Amino acid sequence: GEDVEQSLFLSVREGDSSVINCTYTDSSSTYLYWYKQEPGAGLQLLTYIFSNMDMKQDQRLTVLLNKKDKHLSLRIADTQTGDSAIYFCAQGGGSYIPTFGRGTSLIVHP
Amino acid sequence: NAGVMQNPRHLVRRRGQEARLRCSPMKGHSHVYWYRQLPEEGLKFMVYLQKENIIDESGMPKERFSAEFPKEGPSILRIQQVVRGDSAAYFCASSVDRNYGYTFGSGTRLTVV
């Protein structure tokens, strides 16, 4: 199976919170990342979390890491239409090449 | 400080031609990674290079694909005798070290006709 798995689609209403989930396989990963890709563009690093942390908050973004279950989530508070994009979870760091999930398409509707 | 620069943004090639994709990493970054994104798929690692060295090419197809990162100049991903299945977006990322800070370029979208 894939090293990093994500659901493919998420649809939310503007103003609601979005939660994008990811599971990964490599327990030795030092860093876990969330990237955002807008149509026709490259990937923009949104946030990351060290593997020795459980939570990281950055303005509207909250990352939760459950190392036991190898589960990572990204919560976007007060989701806006400008948040519509594909969100990629990635594992990496140390001696490992960053590996990416297939991405979750977030659709924000009024 | 310019970001990772990839060119061209769009490239159209006929089957059998060669495609050359260029990537200039961020200033101070000596690690370069190439990824391929097929339609509706995630990013697949292709190759990891440091200046003048290929560190890991486990994701590169065995034939027709090659990559280099010379001492001077950009990293080049070269695809010989392109086929329709090579049509994809190719992204380059760079980092100052291999642990953190991968910055991506905007990608080159290759279309093989």
| Triad B31, B35, B36: Cα angle to 5° | 165
A4-46: per-residue pLDDT in tens? Answer: 899 999 999 999 999 999 999 877 777 899 999 998 888 898 9
Cα(A51)–Cα(A45) distance, integer angstroms:
17
pLDDT at position B100:
67
Buried-state track A12-22, b at ≥16 Cβ within 10 A, e below 16: beeeeebebbb
pLDDT at position A26:
79
pLDDT at position A104:
95
Chain A contact set for B98 (CB, 8 A): 93-95
Chain A contact set for B101 (CB, 8 A): 45
| Span of A100-104, B20-24, B84-88 with lowest mean pLDDT | A100-104
The full DSSP string for A26-92 is -TT-SEEEEEEE-TTS-EEEEEEEETT-SEEEETTEEEEEETTTTEEEEEESS--GGG-EEEEEEEE
Give B67's pLDDT tier (boundaries 50, 70, 90).
Answer: very high
Q: What's the mean pLDDT in A96-104?
A: 85
Q: Closest to A88 (Cβ–Cβ): which among B42, B103, B106?
A: B42
pLDDT at B13 over 70: yes
Cα(B43)–Cα(B31) distance, integer angstroms:
18
pLDDT at position B38:
86
pLDDT at A78 over 60: yes
pLDDT at position B99:
65
- Sequence length of chain B is 113
CA dihedral defined by B13, B82, B64, B97, rounded to 10 degrees? 50
| Triad B35, B39, B45: Cα angle to 5° | 15
Q: Closest to A42 (Cβ–Cβ): which among B41, B99, B106?
A: B106
Cα(B59)–Cα(A10) distance, integer angstroms:
29
